[in-house]
Amino acid sequence: MEQLTQFAPFLLMFVVIYFFMIRPQQKKAKNEKEFESTLKVGDKIITKSGLHGKVAELADTTVIIETMAGKLKMERSAISMEMSAALNKKQ
């Protein structure tokens, strides 16, 4: 019984870390994957580096973005979910 009371603070600390750090990160990653899979040609997007453009072509893991400077090929994961959603709400 004494051993259980010794490990109780560590167990409680792990539970708190899980619910406040690990679980929200997993939910965010799931939402980003969902966002990447729902992209379609013609969507206006902003990349995580700040480039604005419109989706011209889609591949399995890459996307070709049409910008004012031309076309760029990028990874789907480089597209910012939050910024693109905010951009599409404005219009």
45: CB partners within 8 A, 6+ apart: 39, 52, 53, 54, 55, 65, 79, 80, 84, 87
**Class of the 40-91 domain?**
mainly beta
Query: Residue 1: pLDDT above 90?
Result: no
pLDDT value of residue 30: 92
pLDDT per residue as tens digits for the range 33-87: 888 888 889 999 999 899 999 999 999 899 999 999 999 999 998 998 877 777 7
pLDDT per residue as tens digits for the range 21-34: 999 999 998 988 88
pLDDT value of residue 89: 74
Q: How confident is the model at residue 91 (pLDDT cuts 50, 70, 90)?
A: low
Residue with tokens 């890459």: 62
